[in-house]
Chains A and B, each alone.
Chain A
């Protein structure tokens, strides 16, 4: 119950935050956080089954490209392109998942990694219609035009907030449903799960497709917010950073990827002023957090909470 109140308070705080904050840079960072939270939670859903994919940036790119082509070349509204971007990513994820889920452990990483690079390669190779290495510029913002202007980040902030809250809610409900229960059990014991009648491959595939759908949505939002996409953005490093969000945040609950994405989006920004030392400091913080909090920030907090209540009692 307290955690439910906490979530409500957080959402309300985010809703009224822009009343006091007009700094476009700060709003931009918050929007980046929203994108990263969406991607981290989408990967977490797959992580429930014990799988970690390196292809998430690939699905995000597919969503971004779908949205960019639809809105720029065909003049389709962003609001139509958004769900289509998710669906296209999910449709492509189906055969990709069918193939890659046949292999286990590190081989699954490798196949998804290869997939992400293939997506990038294809988009980079074909100048027409994907824009090649130059990518696609001047992707129109969502309609209506008077609201979503390039100068004002506020509408994008609220759009990002809505998408993120919706994503988190859906993934949280999934993780608590029967389907989610089965995903957890697959992580606990795959052989036992299939021995009691669970179609392990089918459930993994469903999680993979849903997670690609969410990544596609995030890609679409990114394309029409930033207005520019290229193969240089959705690279392997981006997939890795999504993975790092989950690992640093913790895998046991949905709070993990959210906290991880928030913290690890803010930390590099805080040290931006240090210039060339930015990534060095970021790296040190990562190593430090892995050493001190092996079950992630949320895991460490939970342990601290238990320790505190025991001490108080």
Chain B
């Protein structure tokens, strides 16, 4: 069964149809790419799936549960986490504290948790700190753990975003342009990390990306959006040869002109 299924998803902004009747499915343990020219509706689709926006029509099913209209923070418990196109971090916190907040937001602690600073509470704090360290190490930021997130170079900030997204132990991770603005070395590092997410942690990944080389290198399946419509879907090699896709990206050569 598909982990994520989207049927007839539509979103209008006034006269503009940003996402138009999109139906697609993401299989478990896949790395699924979502590509398309600027303004194709990729991020809007992400926002609809992750509960940031409400769809005008259509349904979203996660692991068989209907999650249409559910607010974002309630999807985390089900096992779905998303990251954002523009680095969203807690800039005034250290790298470790960024992950720590995400960790205990997810483990649940109650209104009075840690109020009295009891022994049990301290043990729990240590336990979470250890987990946070593991995650920071996994994304390769161990030597930066005590730096302020806002002071990190862009590449490290993108890695930290993935680390924060990993803290709630998602089954499905939605990455919105994880390599946007990164240099070659950092792109490779990020793609290596995405591959590791699936291979070592069994996490299903959906990623929106502009960087074709990165997408083709890492994705099993790719869906292509144009003007809010799904125009192609299939394995990476097939999509790279698909004339409709090439046309969408490069335009048609017009002989008459």
Report which A residues bind B (CB closer than 8 A): 173-174, 176-179, 181-182, 184-185, 188-189, 191-200, 206
> Are A194 and B114 touching (Cβ within 8 A)?
no
Given contacts A173-B115, A178-B113, contact A194 B90 (CB under 8 A): no
* Contact of B133 with A by CB under 8 A: no
| A-B CB proximity, top 9 nearest | A197-B76, A188-B90, A177-B114, A196-B102, A178-B109, A192-B88, A178-B113, A185-B101, A194-B73
- A98 smallest CB distance to B (angstroms): 15
> Are A197 and B73 touching (Cβ within 8 A)?
yes
| B66-86 contacts to A (CB < 8 Å) | 71-74, 76-77, 81-84
The interface stretch among B162-170, B196-204, B206-214 is: B162-170
Residues on the A chain within 8 Å of B77, using CB: 197
* Contact of B111 with A by CB under 8 A: yes
- A203 smallest CB distance to B (angstroms): 9
Query: In the complex, A110 Cα to B89 Cα: how many Å?
Result: 29
- A7 smallest CB distance to B (angstroms): 16
Using A178-B109, A188-B91, A197-B73 as known contacts, list a sample of 6 further A-B pairs with CB atoms less than 8 Å apart, ordered by residue number in A. A181-B101, A189-B90, A191-B84, A194-B71, A195-B82, A197-B77
Report which B residues bind A (CB closer than 8 A): 50, 71-74, 76-77, 81-84, 88-93, 100-102, 104-106, 109-117, 164-165, 167-168
Residues on the B chain within 8 Å of A179, using CB: 109, 111-115
> Are B73 and A199 touching (Cβ within 8 A)?
yes
- A194 smallest CB distance to B (angstroms): 4
Residues on the B chain within 8 Å of A196, using CB: 76, 81, 101-102, 105-106, 164-165, 167-168
Dominant SS among interface residues on chain A: helix
The contact of B115 among A177, A184, A200, by CB within 8 Å, is A177
Residues on the B chain within 8 Å of A193, using CB: 90, 101, 105
- A171 smallest CB distance to B (angstroms): 11
- What are 14 of the A-B contact pairs (CB < 8 Å)? A178-B114, A181-B114, A184-B93, A188-B89, A188-B92, A189-B88, A191-B88, A192-B88, A193-B90, A193-B105, A195-B50, A195-B82, A195-B165, A198-B73
Query: In the complex, A189 Cα to B105 Cα: how many Å?
Result: 14
> Are A189 and B115 touching (Cβ within 8 A)?
no
Residues on the B chain within 8 Å of A182, using CB: 101, 105
- A182 smallest CB distance to B (angstroms): 6
Query: In the complex, A179 Cα to B104 Cα: how many Å?
Result: 10
- A183 smallest CB distance to B (angstroms): 11
Query: In the complex, A192 Cα to B91 Cα: how many Å?
Result: 11
> Are B105 and A173 touching (Cβ within 8 A)?
no
> Are A195 and B84 touching (Cβ within 8 A)?
yes
> Are A200 and B73 touching (Cβ within 8 A)?
yes
Residues on the A chain within 8 Å of B100, using CB: 181
Query: In the complex, A188 Cα to B87 Cα: how many Å?
Result: 13
Query: In the complex, A194 Cα to B165 Cα: how many Å?
Result: 11
> Are A194 and B72 touching (Cβ within 8 A)?
yes
Given contacts A173-B115, A197-B76, contact A192 B104 (CB under 8 A): no
Q: Pick the most buried of B50, B73, B77, B164: most chain A CB atoms within 10 A of its CB.
A: B73
- A90 smallest CB distance to B (angstroms): 13
Residues on the A chain within 8 Å of B93, using CB: 184-185, 188
Query: In the complex, A189 Cα to B87 Cα: how many Å?
Result: 10
The contact of A197 among B89, B90, B106, by CB within 8 Å, is B106
- A288 smallest CB distance to B (angstroms): 27
Query: In the complex, A196 Cα to B104 Cα: how many Å?
Result: 10
Query: In the complex, A191 Cα to B88 Cα: how many Å?
Result: 7
> Are A195 and B114 touching (Cβ within 8 A)?
no
> Are A206 and B111 touching (Cβ within 8 A)?
yes
Q: Which residue of B lies closest to A197 (CB)?
A: B76
- A66 smallest CB distance to B (angstroms): 24
Query: In the complex, A200 Cα to B73 Cα: how many Å?
Result: 8
Residues on the A chain within 8 Å of B117, using CB: 173, 176
- A13 smallest CB distance to B (angstroms): 26
> Are A177 and B113 touching (Cβ within 8 A)?
yes
Residues on the B chain within 8 Å of A176, using CB: 114, 117
Query: In the complex, A188 Cα to B106 Cα: how many Å?
Result: 18
Residues on the A chain within 8 Å of B71, using CB: 194
- A259 smallest CB distance to B (angstroms): 21
Given contacts A196-B76, A196-B101, A196-B105, contact A189 B91 (CB under 8 A): yes
- A198 smallest CB distance to B (angstroms): 5
Query: In the complex, A200 Cα to B76 Cα: how many Å?
Result: 13
Residues on the A chain within 8 Å of B102, using CB: 196-197
Query: In the complex, A196 Cα to B106 Cα: how many Å?
Result: 7
Q: Which residue of A lies closest to B116 (CB)?
A: A173
